[in-house]
Amino acid sequence: MAVVEAMARALWDGQTSRHGKQTPTRPETLEAARAGVHLAATLMQWFVSGAVTRNP
């Protein structure tokens, strides 16, 4: 579960312009955006397939 948490945290913290903040965000590169898409797709696939489930 630590890997899933680390991936979700990296996605949340690394994509500041997409999640909004009270302070200005840093510009993001195309490479960072692509990495974010891959992280998100992997996490979604794990949840949808049942490989990872939420704790109640």
The residue-averaged pLDDT of 27-32 equals 84
If you search the block for the tokens 């891959």, which residue do you land on? Answer: 38
Query: Over the stretch 33-44, which tens digit does the pLDDT of each residue have?
Result: 899 899 999 999
Region 47-51: mean pLDDT is 95
Residue-wise pLDDT tens digits, 8-25: 998 887 776 665 666 666
Instruction: Kindly indicate the confidence band of residue 56, based on its pLDDT and cuts at 50, 70 and 90.
Output: confident
Q: Give me the DSSP letters along 1-56.
A: -HHHHHHHHHHHHH-HHHH--SSPPPP--HHHHHHHHHHHHHHHHHHHHTSS----
